[in-house]
Amino acid sequence: MGNFLKKSFLAGLLVTLPLALTYLLFSFLMRKLDLLMAPLVREIILETGAPLPEDFHLPGLGFFITCLIMCLIGVFAKNFIGGKIVLSGQNFLQSIPFVKTVYTTIQQVLNSISKVDKRVFEKMVLLRYPHLSTYVVGLVACDAEGEVVMFTGDNSINVFVPMLPNVTLGWLLVVPRDQVTVLKMSREEGIKMLLSFGIFKAGGSSASNGPGGQPTGFKNASSSS
C-alpha cells in the first residue's frame, strides 16, 4: 500500500509540477508588466475623457500593451528610417564604456537565438568522454564555426553535454564528426532519459556500431554499419 501511494504521489507530482511552474512564471511576468504599464494605461484612458474608477485594473492589459509596443517597435526598426535611427542609438550605447559591454553581450546572445535553425539540438548523440572507455549522451548544437575551425578542421561539430540534474548547464565539446554516433531517440526522449539518470528507456534498437559493437561515426542510428 505504501509503495502504491508513493508511486501515485510521484506520478501526480510529475504532472502538476510543470503546470504549476509554468503558471507561476507567466503569472509573475503578467503581474510585473501590469504594474509597469498601469500608469500609462490610466493616463491614456483619462485623455479620452472616459470615466475611470480610482481602483481601475484590467488583468493582462499591461502584458497585452507591452507585446503591442514590441510589435510596433519591430515594424519601425525594419523600415529604412527606423533602421537608421536604431543603428544610431546602438552606436551611441556602444560608445559608453560599461554600457557597451553589457549591451553588446545581450545583443549577441539574442541575435544568436533569433537566428538559430529549428534543427538545432534535435539530434541526440553518443560519444566517448572523458575517457575512451566511457560514453556520454549529448545534443548536437551546430557545426563548428569561426576561429575554432582553424584548429579543429571543417569536419567538426559542437556537442552540448548536459550536467545533471540541471540539464541547462553542461559542457560544450568540439568533436570530429566521425567520432559521434547519432541515436534514434528524439530530443524529448533523450532529455527524459538524462533527467531519470538512465531509468527512462529511450529510442529503439541499438545505435550503429562499429567493429566489436563499439559506436562509431556521425551517422543515423537506424543505418547499417
pTM given for the model: 0.44
In the chain, the largest separation of any two C-alpha atoms, in whole Å, equals 82
State yes or no: pLDDT of 220 exceeds 80: no
Q: Are residues 93 and 134 in the same domain?
A: no
What's the structural domain count of the chain? 2
- Of the three residues 57, 85, 114, the one that is the final residue of a domain is 114
In a domain, 224, yes or no: no
State yes or no: pLDDT of 210 exceeds 60: no
Q: Report residue 34's pLDDT band, with 50, 70 and 90 as the boundaries.
A: confident
Q: Are residues 108 and 7 in the same domain?
A: yes
> Which residues are registered as beta bridge partners of 127?
136, 180
Q: Are residues 13 and 53 in the same domain?
A: yes
Q: Are residues 208 and 139 in the same domain?
A: yes
Best CA proximity match to 138, nearest among 184, 179, 173, 178? 173
State yes or no: pLDDT of 35 exceeds 80: no
- Among left, alpha and beta (phi > 0; psi -120 to 50; other), residue 30 is alpha
Q: Are residues 101 and 47 in the same domain?
A: yes
Q: Are residues 109 and 136 in the same domain?
A: no
Q: Are residues 16 and 67 in the same domain?
A: yes
Q: Are residues 28 and 98 in the same domain?
A: yes
Provide Rg for the chain, Cα atoms: 25
State yes or no: pLDDT of 69 exceeds 70: yes
Best CA proximity match to 186, nearest among 139, 123, 136? 123
Q: Are residues 94 and 68 in the same domain?
A: yes
pLDDT tens track for 133-143: 899 999 888 88
**Across residues 46-60, what is the average pLDDT?**
69
* Interatomic CA distance for residues 141 and 129, integer angstroms: 17
Q: What share of the chain is helix, strand, coil (3-state, %, to 5)?
A: 50, 15, 35
Q: Report residue 216's pLDDT band, with 50, 70 and 90 as the boundaries.
A: very low
Q: The domain containing residue 207 runs over which residues?
A: 124-213
> In this prediction, what percent of the chain has a pLDDT beyond 90?
3
Q: Are residues 50 and 72 in the same domain?
A: yes
- Of the three residues 114, 133, 154, the one that is the final residue of a domain is 114
pLDDT tens track for 112-156: 666 555 567 778 899 998 888 899 999 888 888 888 888 888 888
In a domain, 225, yes or no: no
In a domain, 110, yes or no: yes
Rounded mean pLDDT of the chain? 77
Best CA proximity match to 139, nearest among 123, 128, 151, 154? 123
Q: Report residue 168's pLDDT band, with 50, 70 and 90 as the boundaries.
A: confident
Specify the amino acid at residue 14.
L
In a domain, 84, yes or no: yes
State yes or no: pLDDT of 212 exceeds 50: no
Q: Are residues 104 and 44 in the same domain?
A: yes
Q: Report residue 52's pLDDT band, with 50, 70 and 90 as the boundaries.
A: low
Q: Are residues 9 and 93 in the same domain?
A: yes
